[in-house]
């Protein structure tokens, strides 16, 4: 199952880069790449991440989708490089060189350092998603080291 989880995370990251989000006529986010495997009680935790205009813990599909809708509204373009690491029932996405361009300002902004996502699966469903400020912290959280 872990290779399947790795491929799900890879598809989410690629879908995100390709702009595969879906919106309704009012511009409200209705589908995020990979959302079909989100558990109804998904927890998305960005409480320790140092992302611009982002912090907190979001519970449930609607709360997670709402966060992404609000955060994505600020950015016209988003690019990054990544590596996906298999950690059993968890997958680590190491994010490097993230760059964004503000929708209203056109200003290019790099994220201040490389960071990571840790995605936890249970019975094929994404149940927990946490963003860590550093790749080292994320790898340590899953019992791996750089």
Indicate left, alpha or beta for 145 from its phi (over 0: left) and psi (-120 to 50: alpha): beta
Q: Which long-range contacts (CB under 8 A, 24 or more apart) does 10-13 make?
A: 10/84, 13/82, 13/84, 13/93
Contact (Cβ atoms closer than 8 angstroms) between residue 12 and residue 35: no
Report pLDDT for 52.
55
For the structural domain made of 2-141, what CATH number should be given? Answer: 3.10.450.50
User: What residue segments make up the domains of the chain, in order of their start?
Assistant: 2-141
Report pLDDT for 76.
79
Q: Name the stretches of the chain with pLDDT < 70.
A: 1, 49-54, 112, 146
DSSP 49-60: ---TT--SEEES
At 30-57, the pLDDT tens digits run 888 888 999 999 999 988 766 656 678 9
Q: Where are the alpha helices (DSSP H) in the chain?
A: 2-17, 61-73, 135-141
DSSP 3-18: HHHHHHHHHHHHHHHT
Report pLDDT for 53.
61
- What average pLDDT does the structure give for the chain? 87
């Amino acid at each position: 199952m872990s290779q399947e989880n790795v491929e799900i995370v890879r598809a989410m990251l690629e879908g995100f880069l390709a702009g595969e989000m879906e919106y309704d006529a009012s511009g409200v986010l209705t589908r995020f790449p990979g959302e079909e495997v989100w558990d109804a009680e998904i927890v998305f935790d960005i409480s320790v991440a140092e992302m611009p205009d982002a912090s907190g813990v979001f519970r449930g599909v609607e709360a997670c989708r709402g966060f992404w809708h609000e955060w994505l509204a600020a950015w016209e373009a988003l690019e990054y490089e990544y590596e996906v690491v298999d950690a059993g029932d968890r997958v680590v996405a190491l994010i490097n060189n993230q760059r964004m361009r503000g929708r209203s300002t056109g200003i290019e902004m790099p994220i201040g350092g490389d960071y990571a996502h840790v995605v936890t699966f249970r019975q094929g469903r994404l149940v927990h998603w946490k963003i860590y400020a550093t790749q080292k912290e994320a790898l340590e959280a899953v019992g791996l080291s750089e």
